[in-house]
């Protein structure tokens, strides 16, 4: 029984603090402020569990959330950046018009040694339709 006399959990101060906390929690008519609830919880913890060193806070019901607006960051305007100037792509010398040297039922041969296939009235080279003009042919 000697241990019960020194136990702060069974002290009259602890019982009074617990009653105050329970009354604060049970009060539905008047909305209690979070500060009152925190103060009552701290008093119960100090009186019933013994004083602790430091500023440790008992965790209980979470504090109401804090709304923090998103930061607005103003960026400095960058100088107008021009895209790099690309040098013109050299196409090389323009292709020379080739002369048609011989024809067979499948197509014609030109002076460059390419076979041009016939497709109806058209001549098709390796890269597209060729344009015949006065015995010469120009292919892309």
**pTM of the full structure:** 0.32
By C-alpha distance, which of 139, 97, 134 is closest to 122?
139
pLDDT over 70 at 94, yes or no: no
Greatest CA span in the chain, whole angstroms?
Answer: 128
CB-based burial, 4-28: b 16+ in 10 Å, e otherwise: eeeeeeeeeebeebbeebeebeeee
Contacts of 135 (CB under 8 A, 6+ apart): 99, 100
Mean pLDDT to the nearest integer, 79-85: 76
- The predicted pLDDT at position 67 comes to 86
Pair of tokens at residue 87? 């040098």
Helix (H, G, I), strand (E, B) or coil at 40: helix
Statement: residue 23 has pLDDT above 50 = yes
């Amino acid at each position: 029984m000697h241990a019960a006399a020194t136990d702060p959990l069974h002290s009259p101060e602890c019982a009074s603090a617990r009653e105050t906390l329970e009354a604060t929690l049970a009060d539905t008519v008047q909305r209690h402020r979070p500060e009152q609830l925190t103060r009552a919880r701290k008093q119960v913890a100090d009186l019933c569990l013994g004083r602790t060193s430091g500023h440790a806070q008992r965790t209980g019901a979470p504090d109401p959330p804090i709304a923090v607006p998103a930061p607005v960051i103003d960026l400095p305007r960058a100088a107008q950046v021009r895209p790099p100037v690309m040098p013109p792509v050299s196409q090389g010398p323009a292709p020379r018009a080739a002369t048609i040297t011989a024809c067979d039922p499948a197509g014609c041969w030109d002076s460059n040694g390419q076979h041009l296939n016939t497709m109806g009235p058209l001549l098709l080279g390796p890269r597209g339709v060729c344009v015949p003009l006065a015995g010469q042919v120009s292919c892309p």
